[in-house]
């Protein structure tokens, strides 16, 4: 199954949670996927909620506008660990974003002029049942599905202090979507191609099979110290090829188009706007 | 003014936002201070909301059960910076907690047996108006008030990776309260004594006047990258005297009583429970 939050062009002010049937999005009984999941209307491994009519020309937007937690793993692909000069980790390196940090799959990414903005293509996992001190099996059963993210990072702010948070949590800078695909349709552990292109030039390519800690590992680990709830999102880390570690460093410029793709899920296409505001 | 969320012993299942008048807490029209502030019923610098009847024997609990953001500053007192072997910073080191991380002023702090739990007495500031890319003056005008926190830290998890988050965001381990005092009554920049006692032994003592980045600095800085909303909480950092940097290191044991005090605001008194669950 493929779920999304979509805009109906006939009612553009009223987003809808939706499910794909054939080539057509059909409405589900909630204003967005966050609301559907947090209300219990859609549960990991549960039945498909009641399906409404087709939405002609539906356009996916940010599927999950209101997660209570958005937690990210850094240093989780072997080649990205190598390019940062570090050793393979014993524990996942975790940092958070906010619901405020997210934007949709085709939204502009707007940052002040002059910052060092960098790309990080990532697989994201969406929680579909509460998790506290979960085993790996319990975490696997709680996966609602997978989606695509770009952990756009403001490197100069990330490097200002020991903690990455202030370079990672700029409002409306992390594209998410376009769809959430249930685990019966995609298996990241078996290997999904993940890639990033900047103005059509491929800058990252790897397979999700090479993750040090996979999505299920991360959910179980995080649930040791903080509860995860339906609709929460975990970003699993980025492969090698970021801009910061290139020689010379390559940062995103005003007008650049960043495409982020995970095989079997979909593609984000976002334009960078570096404004003075 | 002094605000709190209190339990009325006559109706223990129904917390109330409350204001202190003389020696007696009086009910305000909301279930807790988070709800009152997010609804606009209490605004930084605004009028006192309509005051209801007295609540005999009212007991303050966690004043702010549902902030959207709880952001902490590390390395913000000169002696604490020195004890960690670091230089005076140009930028505040920031990391987040969650609403889930907070507990009340007399609640137990419960952690698994075997972890390295440490104390960090802190002044906290409560946001009382939306802040985005705020100047220092705008940030000052948005301070609802000040309260006390203990940024209880799980040092072994904090040290597992580069990012402190997984040692800082254990559910229900950061005491907050007991009251929120408006800035006309307390001025941290002028110097409030801050201290921590473990089983009656003083382990930390400093003045908030020695903060590198004061509460208003932190609100303005954070608002550069992410919006702050009414009811959000910022912890301003801890002075020297933590357990981790002692020789030998001193961690909290099951049954230890931690008292955290800021002059002019109040005292948290929490018992540590290290259980196997």
pLDDT confidence of residue A78: 85
Which of A163, A172, A227, A276 has the highest number of chain B CBs within 10 A, making it the mutation to test binding with B?
A: A163
Nearest CA in chain A to B162: A93
pLDDT in the model for residue A247 = 95
Answer whether B171 sits within 8 Å of A74, measured CB to CB.
Answer: no
Chain A interface includes B220 (CB < 8 A) = no
Close Cβ partners of B19 (under 8 Å, ≥ 6 residues apart): B1, B2, B3, B4, B25, B26, B28, B48, B49, B51
Tell me what pLDDT residue B118 has: 98
Report the pLDDT averaged over residues A242-254: 97
pLDDT on residue B85: 85
Of A75, A165, A222, the CB nearest to B95: A165
A94:B170 CB<8 A? no
Question: Which parts of chain B sit beneath pLDDT 70?
Answer: 277
Q: Could you report the per-residue pLDDT of A89-137, keeping only the tens digit for each? A: 999 999 999 999 999 999 999 999 999 999 999 999 999 999 999 999 9
Classify residue A68 by its DSSP letter: S
B264 contacts chain A (CB < 8 A): no
Say whether the peptide bond before residue A62 is cis (omega within 30 degrees of 0): no
By the CB < 8 Å criterion, does A110 face chain B? no
Each domain of chain A, given as residue ranges in start order, spans: 2-61, 70-275
Give the C-alpha separation, B219 to B43, whole Å. Answer: 16
User: Does residue A84 register a pLDDT over 90?
Assistant: no
The yes-or-no verdict on residue A86 having pLDDT over 90 is no
pLDDT-derived band of residue A277, with 50, 70 and 90 as boundaries?
low
With an 8 Å Cβ cutoff, are A225 and B91 in contact? Answer: no
How many whole angstroms separate alpha carbon B100 and alpha carbon A69?
10
Regarding beta strands B233-235 and B257-262, do their DSSP bridges make them parallel or antiparallel, or are they unpaired?
Answer: unpaired
pLDDT at residue A198, rounded to an integer: 98
Spell out which residues of chain B touch residue A163, defining contact as CB-CB under 8 Å: 74, 93-95, 163-165
Average pLDDT over residues A222-234: 98
> What number of H helices and E strands is found in chain A?
6, 18
Domain B70-275 bears CATH identifier 3.90.850.10: yes
Q: Determine the residue of chain B that is closest to A70 in CA distance.
A: B98
Q: Which of A152-185 are b and which e, b meaning 16 or more Cβ less than 10 Å from the residue's Cβ?
A: bbbbebbebbebbbbbbbbbbbbbbbbbbbbbee
A44-69: average pLDDT:
96
pLDDT digits (tens, 9 = 90+) for B156-207: 999 999 999 999 999 999 999 999 999 999 999 999 999 999 999 999 999 9
Residue A276 has pLDDT above 80, yes or no: no
This model of the complex carries an ipTM of 0.97
| Chain A interface test: which of B165, B221, B237 (most A C-beta within 10 Å) | B165
Residues 62 to 81 of A: which have CB under 8 A from any B CB?
68-69, 74-75
Longest alpha-carbon distance in chain A:
53
Which of the 8 DSSP states describes residue A211? B
Interface check for A170 against chain B (CB to CB < 8 A): the answer is: yes
Confidence band (pLDDT; 50, 70, 90) for A82? confident
Q: Output DSSP code: residue A51.
A: P
- Quick one: pLDDT at residue A124? 98
CB contact under 8 A, B225 and A162: no
A167-209, pLDDT tens digit by residue? 999 999 999 999 999 999 999 999 999 999 999 999 999 999 9
Residue B42 Cα, gap to closest chain A Cα (Å): 23
Radius of gyration of chain A (CA): 18
CA angle (B171 as vertex; B218, B74 as ends), nearest 5: 25
pLDDT of res. B178 = 98
Q: So what's the pLDDT on residue A230? A: 98
In this structure, of A52-66, A76-90, B160-174, the range with the lowest mean pLDDT score is A76-90
B105 touches chain A (CB under 8 A): no
Closest by Cβ to B100, choosing from A91, A98, A227: A227
């Amino acid at each position: 199954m493929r779920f999304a939050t979509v805009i109906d062009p006939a009612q553009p002010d009223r987003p809808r949670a939706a499910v794909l049937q054939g080539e057509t999005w059909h409405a589900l009984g909630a204003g967005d996927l966050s609301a559907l999941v947090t209300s219990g209307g859609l549960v990991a491994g549960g039945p498909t909620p009641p399906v409404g009519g087709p939405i002609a020309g539906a356009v996916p937007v940010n599927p999950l506008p209101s997660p209570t937690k958005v937690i990210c793993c850094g240093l989780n692909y072997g080649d990205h660990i190598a390019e940062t000069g570090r050793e393979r980790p014993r524990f996942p390196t975790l940092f958070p974003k906010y619901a405020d940090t997210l934007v949709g799959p085709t939204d502009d990414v707007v940052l002040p002029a002059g910052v060092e903005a960098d790309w990080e293509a990532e697989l994201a996992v969406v929680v579909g049942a509460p998790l506290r001190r979960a085993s790996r099996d319990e975490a696997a059963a709680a996966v609602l599905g997978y989606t695509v993210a770009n952990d756009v990072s403001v490197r100069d702010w990330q490097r200002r202090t020991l903690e990455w948070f202030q370079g990672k949590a700029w409002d409306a800078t992390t594209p998410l979507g376009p769809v959430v695909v249930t685990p019966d349709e995609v298996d990241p552990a078996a290997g999904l191609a993940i890639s990033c292109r900047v103005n059509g030039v491929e800058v990252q390519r790897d397979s999700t099979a090479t993750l040090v800690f996979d999505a299920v590992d991360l959910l179980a680990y995080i649930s040791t110290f903080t509860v995860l709830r339906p609709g929460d999102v975990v970003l699993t880390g980025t492969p090698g090829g970021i801009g910061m570690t290139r020689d010379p460093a390559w940062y995103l410029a005003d007008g650049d188009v960043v495409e982020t793709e995970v095989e079997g899920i979909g593609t984000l296409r976002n334009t960078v706007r570096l404004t003075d505001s």
